[in-house]
């Protein structure tokens, strides 16, 4: 049973393994909203409900979902809907849980969102590593086709929707919406120049709505219960519940669904159990590895919402908290973070390709004690020169946390440089570059 701090809406009944079957889902009232929407509602009614609800995208940017859908031009051209299930950011694992436990909720959300976008073809772009979840989705999509919720002439309403589960093959960049479109078109996943935005010119050049798994999973209940019901959860600017992934130095890592606005301390200590006894939270990433790190003093007492995190100079992102307890060496954590982005940079834009590369090299010098304090200033200036200078935000995603770490924990960096590395836990010290695929230079 869920305890007091959790508010399970998307994860309601998720403890029941039968939920992933069509019968199980329908047993809890599933697909009733799809029937209502397809039989009784017009495109504008669905759109209005989504816009009024204030539902913000759960993939990282937090943009209003209804607004995004309303940007799609009207007309006879083929329109597309893509569900972004390429969750690959370190710290984020909520979509995995939602797809594994309740695939039909997502399918129903996609079908209703397709109505709002007037899309005839929908895709779920799932990362190739999530093989189990993709198998579960495949089975669920087949059931939904069988039951007449997908395909041609849905429920006899003369509305059509094709849904394809498309497996990626391992590239973080494909979570970026335009890179996702390129990958879905069968190319290398390189981001595109924006504008034009996908809502105007996306997949195969047609208007395309791209939303995250969690965003789309929210759709059935919003349309069923109304925008007002949804706004009853969370804060004014961050309505609804959020599945928060908590990991790192906590005793009970996992996904917890809470109302937005819950105090961060309660998430980390109340739900995830806090660090091991005798240890304290030192810092945390509030929204996945691309969010600027907050120190415990800065962040523990903030409400967990889009606006509070933005005010503190960080972001809620995908809603993934990674906790670093007092044993973690921040320079080493910065290096791990930078290595990830270096490995995942697609190489299209120079500031990102070179910036991630040189940041890794400089941070390696720092942890080996070979750097000078001036190198810290150079690291910071490299980050400044990445931010805002690329087609997509992958480079920024490294620059934001790394520059925050250098700024907030400068004495620790200096201490490491000064040769104090031996005081650190030896297993945290990187002996050489780790062997990761393609990371060798």
Partner 1 sequence: MSPVDGAGAGNPNLPVDPAVDEGRVPERASEGIPEIHEVGCPEELRERIELLMSRYPDRHSASIPALWAVQERYGWCTPEGIRQAAAVMRVTPAYLESVASFYDLLHTEAVGSHRIEVCTNISCWMRGGDELLDAFKAAAEGDADLFVTGFECLGACDIAPMASIDQRYFGPLEAAEAGIAIEQLKAGADVLPAKSLATRPLAGDTPGPTGRNVASESTYRPIDRGEG
Q: Interaction with partner 1 in 402-441: which residues (CB under 8 A)?
A: 427, 434-438
What count of Cα atoms within 13 Å lies in the side-chain half-sphere of residue 324? 25
Number of residues that bind partner 1 (CB under 8 A): 88
Site for partner 1 in 74-103 (CB under 8 A): 78, 87-93, 95-97, 100-101
Strand pairing report for 262-263 and 303-304 = antiparallel
Taking the complex as a whole, how short is the minimal distance between the CB of residue 386 and partner 1, in angstroms? 19
Q: Which stretch binds partner 1 (CB under 8 A): 37-45, 123-131, 138-146, 216-224?
A: 123-131
In this complex, which beta carbon is closest to partner 1, that of residue 167 or of residue 192?
Answer: 167
Q: Which helix (H) or strand (E) holds 311?
A: helix 306-311
Per CB under 8 A, the list member of 232, 369, 373, 419 interacting with partner 1 is: 232
Residue (of 67, 12, 90) closest to 318 by Cα position: 90
Site for partner 1 in 182-211 (CB under 8 A): 183-189, 204
Taking the complex as a whole, how short is the minimal distance between the CB of residue 216 and partner 1, in angstroms? 18
Residue 412 contacts residue 329 (beta carbons within 8 Å):
yes
Taking the complex as a whole, how short is the minimal distance between the CB of residue 222 and partner 1, in angstroms? 17
In this complex, which beta carbon is closest to partner 1, that of residue 215 or of residue 320?
Answer: 320
Taking the complex as a whole, how short is the minimal distance between the CB of residue 21 and partner 1, in angstroms? 15
Site for partner 1 in 239-258 (CB under 8 A): 245-249, 251-257
Read off the tokens for 102: 């309740």
In this complex, which beta carbon is closest to partner 1, that of residue 220 or of residue 234?
Answer: 234
Listed in sequence order, the residues at least 6 apart from 5 whose beta carbon sits closer than 8 Å to its beta carbon are: 256, 258, 262, 266, 267, 270, 271
Q: Is 226 in the site for partner 1 (CB under 8 A)?
A: no
Site for partner 1 in 149-168 (CB under 8 A): 164, 166-168
Binding track over 5-34 against partner 1, x by CB under 8 A: xxxx--x--xx-------------------
Binding track over 32-71 against partner 1, x by CB under 8 A: ----------------------------------------
Site for partner 1 in 273-292 (CB under 8 A): 273, 285, 289
Please state whether 400 falls in left (phi above 0), alpha (psi between -120 and 50) or beta: alpha
Taking the complex as a whole, how short is the minimal distance between the CB of residue 259 and partner 1, in angstroms? 6
Look at the chain and count its residues.
Answer: 441
Q: Which stretch binds partner 1 (CB under 8 A): 126-134, 148-156, 386-394, 402-410?
A: 126-134
Please state whether 398 falls in left (phi above 0), alpha (psi between -120 and 50) or beta: alpha
Per CB under 8 A, the list member of 199, 222, 262, 316 interacting with partner 1 is: 262
In this complex, which beta carbon is closest to partner 1, that of residue 169 or of residue 418?
Answer: 169
In this complex, which beta carbon is closest to partner 1, that of residue 67 or of residue 265?
Answer: 265
In this complex, which beta carbon is closest to partner 1, that of residue 322 or of residue 390?
Answer: 322
In this complex, which beta carbon is closest to partner 1, that of residue 7 or of residue 217?
Answer: 7
Read off the tokens for 433: 């570059």
Q: Is 214 in the site for partner 1 (CB under 8 A)?
A: no
Residue 16 contacts residue 82 (beta carbons within 8 Å):
no
In this complex, which beta carbon is closest to partner 1, that of residue 39 or of residue 251?
Answer: 251
Query: In angstroms, rounded to a whole number, what is the distance separating the alpha carbons of residues 440 and 123?
Result: 34
What count of Cα atoms within 13 Å lies in the side-chain half-sphere of residue 309? 31
Decide: helix, strand or coil at residue 91. Answer: coil
Q: Which helix (H) or strand (E) holds 80?
A: strand 80-85
Binding track over 311-340 against partner 1, x by CB under 8 A: ---------x-x-x---x----x--xx--x
What secondary structure does DSSP assign to 186-242, as a single string? Answer: TS------SSSPTTTS-GGGS-EEEEEHHHHHHHHHHHHH-HHHHHTSB-SSSBSEE
In this complex, which beta carbon is closest to partner 1, that of residue 84 or of residue 337?
Answer: 337
Cis check for the bond before 17: say yes or no (omega within 30 of 0): no
Say how many C-beta atoms besides its own lie within 10 A of residue 197's C-beta. 16
Q: Backbone phi, then psi, for 19, in 5-degree steps? A: -60, -25
């Amino acid at each position: 049973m869920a305890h007091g701090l959790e508010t399970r809406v998307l994860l309601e009944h998720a403890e029941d393994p039968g939920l992933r079957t069509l019968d199980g889902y329908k047993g809890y009232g599933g697909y009733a909203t799809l029937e209502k929407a397809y039989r009784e509602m017009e495109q504008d009614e669905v759109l209005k409900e989504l816009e009024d609800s204030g539902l913000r995208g759960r993939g990282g940017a937090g943009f209003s979902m209804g607004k995004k859908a309303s940007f799609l031009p009207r007309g006879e051209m083929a329109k597309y809907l893509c569900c972004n299930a390429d969750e690959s950011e370190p710290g984020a694992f909520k979509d995995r849980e939602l797809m594994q436990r309740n695939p039909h909720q997502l399918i129903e959300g996609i079908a209703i969102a397709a109505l709002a976008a007037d899309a005839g073809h929908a895709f779920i772009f799932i990362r190739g590593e999530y093989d189990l979840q993709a198998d579960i989705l495949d089975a669920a999509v087949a059931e939904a086709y069988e039951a007449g919720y997908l395909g041609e002439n849905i429920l006899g309403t003369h509305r059509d929707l094709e849904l394809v589960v498309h497996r990626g093959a391992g590239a973080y960049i494909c979570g970026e919406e335009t890179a996702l479109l390129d990958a879905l078109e069968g190319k290398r996943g390189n981001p595109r120049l924006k504008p034009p935005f996908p809502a105007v010119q996306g997949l195969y050049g047609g208007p395309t709505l791209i939303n995250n798994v969690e965003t789309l999973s929210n759709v059935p209940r919003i349309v069923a219960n109304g925008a007002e019901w949804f706004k009853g959860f969370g804060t004014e600017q961050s309505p609804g519940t959020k599945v928060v992934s908590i990991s790192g130095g906590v005793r009970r890592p996992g996904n917890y669904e809470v109302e937005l606005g819950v105090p961060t301390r309660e998430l980390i200590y109340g739900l995830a159990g806090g660090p091991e006894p005798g240890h304290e939270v030192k810092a945390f990433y509030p929204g996945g590895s691309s969010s600027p790190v907050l120190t415990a003093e800065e962040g523990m007492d903030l409400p967990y919402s889009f606006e509070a995190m933005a005010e503190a100079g960080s972001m809620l992102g995908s809603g993934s908290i990674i906790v670093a307890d007092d044993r973690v060496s921040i320079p080493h954590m910065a290096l791990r973070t930078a290595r990830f982005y270096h490995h995942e940079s697609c190489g299209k834009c120079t500031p990102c390709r070179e910036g991630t590369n040189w940041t890794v090299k400089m941070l390696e010098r720092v942890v080996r004690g070979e750097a000078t304090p001036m190198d810290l200033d150079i690291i910071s200036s490299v980050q400044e020169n990445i931010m805002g200078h690329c087609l997509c935000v992958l480079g920024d995603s490294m620059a934001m946390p790394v520059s925050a770490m250098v700024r907030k924990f400068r004495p620790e960096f200096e201490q490491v440089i000064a040769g104090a590395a031996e005081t650190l836990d030896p297993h945290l010290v990187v002996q050489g570059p780790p062997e990761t695929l393609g990371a060798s230079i």
